[in-house]
Amino acid sequence: MIDFDPNFRQQVYMLSANLRIPALFLVASLGMVCLSKGQDREESPRPKIGVVLSGGGARGMAHVGVLKVLEELRIPVDYISGNSFGSLVAGTYAYGYSPQEQDQILTTIDWGVVMNDGFRRTDLVFRRKQDDLNFLMKIALGFRDWDFRFPKGLLYGQRSSNILRFLTPRSHKITHFDNLNIPFRAVATEIGTGKEIVLESGSLPVAMSASMSIPGVFAPVNIDGRDLVDGMVVNNIPIDLVRNMGAEVVIAIDIGTPLMKPEEIQGLLQVTGQMVSILMQKNVDDQLATLTDRDTLIVPELGDITSTSFGRGREAIDIGYRAASAMRKVLSRYSVSEEEYREFLRGQRRKPEVYPVIDRLKIVNNSRLAEGVITSMMDTKEGEIFDPDMLAEDIKRVHGRDDFEMVTFELEEIDGETELRLIADEKDWGPNYLKFGLNIEDDFDGETAYNLAVQYTMRNMNELGGEWRHQAQIGSNRLFFTEFYQPLDDAQRFFVAPRIEWQEDDVDIYSRGTKTDNFDVEFGTLAFDVGTNISNWAELRFGIRRIDGHVDVKLSSTGLTDFDFDDGLIGASLQIDTLDNPNFPTAGNFGFATWGMALDSLGADTEYQRVDVRFSQAFTFRELNTILVSAQFGTVTEKQLPVYRLHRRGGFLDLSGLSERELAGQHTVSARLLFYRRIAGVPFQTFGMPIYLGGSFETGQVYQDRDDILNDLIYAGSVFLGIDSPIGPVYLAYGMAEGGNDTGYLFVGRSF
């Protein structure tokens, strides 16, 4: 119905009288004209709507809340663009996900794993797990041709890249983003030139990855020979992209981090962050200046939610929803009828995934390893239906070798057949690596022990993954060894490992808290092991050793003088490791059992058999609280252990309150119960430095006679503050043992 002015009819009557025109005819004529114009308005096409989602890291989850409101208001999206996290939300919406599905996906992703490049320690092959059981730092530097080589980013996006691939399995059929359910554009920066790159074709998951690659955090993504990173500096809210696509009106959502106040800038990190924000704000302001009265800008008030607050995704989504809801009256001008919106949703929603049969499986092996090493780790086979869960497990196993910067996949139809390509790219800063280690123990009472180590590993020296490792250590315990580890088959089930080692230790023996003996033990070892890996959680070894050494007696309560010694042993060892973290485990177990027999026929001065067993299990409850239970037993089954092979006890978390390795004997038993609670930080993240508050209850003893085992146990305990830092675990602790023994500790290095 058309609304007329109340005086319209009277004005027309008087006008017709003056002009001698029949009023009825004029009214009818003008009415038809007005009706005709009204019909033209109803039939005219609605304006094309473009939605723009800005970058901002974890703050970008607010975009999902805004999309929910747009759908509730029946606002169709004709074009969509985004940068960084905004490109993820925009790209998956263009692919066909509903905001409800995006909500579920983004709030259930394990972002701690994503921000650690997908490495769960439990995914590593056993050889790599052994790397971090000593006190070596987490960071490994590439070293080749006498030159240090560094990765191009702290992360290579292994996990995030594959998440995007699994979310968009049918995107390989789409080569131009205009052909998505909603035409889509992402923006990135070419790191070599600083130019803005508009991503409008190619691989959808790769485009989203490039747009999300924060410089210095994620390595650049190479597309068509160009190294691309996050587009935040060149165009963080790409309004111009949807306009160029044909949008007549724009709904822009800006979730960028606002500039810090002067008083908030306290250090280097804040200064650097502020500079990036200033550069980014310039292009944001330029884009926002193009908005007109026909457009709408939504700015969710995200407060202290930062670009790394992935654990607050639910909160960010709710804030985005409330921000858009507050503008329903303004946004409703873009609403369409229910029928028209149903038609939009039919085009926007993705079709149910129907996974194809894999006709060809191709390994794109960009490494020195034999292709069989990779295929032996895969359950995915040709002739079977594509199973994303199975492939995800295959990728984790291959990436768990820690030889590849990226292990990804592509699914493509070629000549009517489906080809699955697994792409394994060797680290460009390897395959030789340097690691450094630091171990310090200070009891604040004049006793300090320290060790500094460097390890150089030459990996993948042949197609089966042979590696040659060297380690040197100075400090309280001096050490040098070199070992060549050679797998014997593609599946790496069997291996041989010859080794040469030299070691020098200071050995102190105490009685009732007083040092009674002090030796300097120096010895060299030739060893040869054969072994087998039991999946990635255990290793079994058999070996032979020949040892030649000297004991320099500096203090003796028994009149012992300097002497040389020879030892020759055969032995076996079983080691189990399923811990999720070697420093502060929250789940899994660790254990070993070793047996060694010294034989006169191998040159041993004294024949004996030594057995050592240890097992630890971690349990976590209510997410933040962990209990770690450990027990250890050691004995000699024949004759006596020589002085340089005695069992030792004492020190932090090993009868805390006693001096380091204060007790020495032929036999030993110990047990401990640790409790620690995470009070700050996030574990398993590249930028995480979780802090723990904990304590321990410990008991144990050493014995000269097996019949005395379990008698006269010493009880001890400690309280500690621990940090899981990049240089290793750091503790500030206080320990007490019965008998009036107590001490404080500053401890850096492995304690479990």
DSSP codes, 417-459: EEEEEEEEEE-TT-SEEEEEEEEEEE-SSS-EEEEEEEEEEE-
> Helix, strand or coil for residue 188?
strand
Six-digit token string for 222:
């190479």
Q: Who contacts 600 (Cβ-Cβ below 8 Å, separation ≥6)?
A: 607
Bridge partners (DSSP) of residue 588 are 618
Burial 413-422 (b: 16+ CB within 10 A, else e): eeeeebbbeb
Q: Say whether pLDDT at 29 is over 50.
A: no
Bridge partners (DSSP) of residue 423 are 364, 408
Six-digit token string for 432:
């030789």
Query: Mean pLDDT over residues 682-690, rounded?
Result: 61
pLDDT of residue 749: 81
> Helix, strand or coil for residue 571?
strand
> Helix, strand or coil for residue 304?
coil
Lowest mean pLDDT across 332-336, 712-716, 736-740: 736-740
Residue-wise pLDDT for 44-101, tens only, equals 578 999 999 999 889 999 999 999 999 999 999 999 999 999 999 999 999 999 999 9
| Alpha carbons 547 and 565: distance in angstroms, whole number | 8
Residue 240 contacts residue 252 (beta carbons within 8 Å): no
- Give the rounded percent of residues in the chain with a pLDDT score beyond 90: 63
Lowest mean pLDDT across 136-140, 211-215, 464-468: 136-140
> Among the ranges 216-220, 308-312, 621-625, 718-722, which has the highest mean pLDDT value?
718-722
Query: Mean pLDDT over residues 209-222, rounded?
Result: 88
> Which is it for strands 79-83 and 184-190: parallel, antiparallel or unpaired?
parallel
pLDDT of residue 35: 38
Q: Who contacts 389 (Cβ-Cβ below 8 Å, separation ≥6)?
A: none
pLDDT of residue 516: 86
pLDDT of residue 22: 39
- Give the rounded percent of residues in the chain with a pLDDT score beyond 70: 89
pLDDT of residue 15: 32
More confident residue, 639 or 259: 639
Query: Mean pLDDT over residues 521-541, rounded?
Result: 96
pLDDT of residue 630: 97
Q: What is the pTM assigned to this prediction? A: 0.81
pLDDT band at 629 (very low <50, low <70, confident <90, very high): very high
- CA angle at 574 for the pair 373 and 139, rounded to the nearest 5°: 60
Token pair 């030299």: residue: 502
Six-digit token string for 595:
């047996």
Query: Mean pLDDT over residues 562-572, rounded?
Result: 95
Query: Mean pLDDT over residues 2-19, rounded?
Result: 36
pLDDT band at 686 (very low <50, low <70, confident <90, very high): very low
Token pair 């976590």: residue: 620
More confident residue, 246 or 309: 246
Identity of the amino acid at 671? A
Q: Who contacts 484 (Cβ-Cβ below 8 Å, separation ≥6)?
A: 466, 467, 468, 469, 497, 498, 499
Q: Angle, nearest 10°, between helix axes 8-19 and 23-43?
A: 130
Which of 239, 362, 356, 236 is closest to 289 using CA atoms?
239
Q: Say whether pLDDT at 41 is over 60.
A: no
pLDDT of residue 97: 96
| Alpha carbons 667 and 634: distance in angstroms, whole number | 5
Query: Mean pLDDT over residues 8-36, rounded?
Result: 37
Query: Mean pLDDT over residues 710-734, rounded?
Result: 93
Query: Mean pLDDT over residues 229-257, rounded?
Result: 93
Residue 528 contacts residue 544 (beta carbons within 8 Å): yes
> Among the ranges 14-28, 408-422, 663-677, which has the highest mean pLDDT value?
663-677
pLDDT of residue 259: 65
